[in-house]
Amino acid sequence: MTERKTGSIRKELWGSVEGVIEKGSLVRDEEGASAVLVDEDGVRVRVKGYGDAFSGLVETAADAGGNVIFQGHIRPRGEGDPVRLAVRIMGPVELTGKVSDIRRSAEGAEARIGFWMMREIASSEGEVHLFGTGVNVSGPDADALSGLREGDRVRLEARHGEEGFIATSPVSVLPSQDIDEPTM
């Protein structure tokens, strides 16, 4: 997760965390519910759901146990405090779109593939809008994409990362579909 600073004003960024809620860390107060999430590297992140809807996401995850993904606004932290995330979404988001600009890891290195995609998002009126989105895939899921080509249409689940989205599911290559390219 990253924070940008413009002059003396901090701008909150959208980000995500993935891990397990630390047992006994759930706290409820007048603003909502918070807990400490510990990622696979042992990094602790304070996640907080403000208001009934968002605090319910934190409480549900704490009650269920196991691995969880939270996405939301990264909050500034105080001295010695863990990074904080204001929860807006629990779980990954689904991405669908056309692939371009494929980058693969070097031979012999850990399997990684990165690509740019034109993400398809339907409006409430049914129109499809296209947004450029970076995606990163690693491990066996990256190995499985050895035949991926520019122009392929894909679908995957992902969470926000520092350099685009991070795949949390295998990438499915879809049949081609005619989508008008956006006008800039």
pLDDT in tens, 13-67: 888 889 999 999 999 999 999 999 999 899 888 999 999 889 999 999 999 989 9
Distance CA 171, CA 96 (A): 10
Q: Which of 118, 22, 14, 5 is nearest to 73 (CA)?
A: 14
For 29, residues 6+ apart whose C-beta sits below 8 A from its C-beta are none
CATH of 4-90, one of 2.40.50.140, 2.60.120.260, 3.90.550.10, 2.70.240.10: 2.40.50.140
Quote the pTM value. Answer: 0.71
Class of domain 93-174: mainly beta
Numbered ranges of CATH 2.40.50.140 in the chain: 4-90, 93-174
Distance, in Å, from the CA atom of 22 to the CA atom of 24, rounded to the nearest integer, reads: 6
Phi and psi (nearest 5°) for 97? 175, 180
Residue labelled with tokens 């010695």: 80
Residue-wise pLDDT tens digits, 104-130: 998 888 899 999 999 998 888 889 999
Residues 106 and 33 sit within 8 Å (Cβ to Cβ): no
Task: For residue 135, give the H/E element and its range.
Answer: strand 128-138
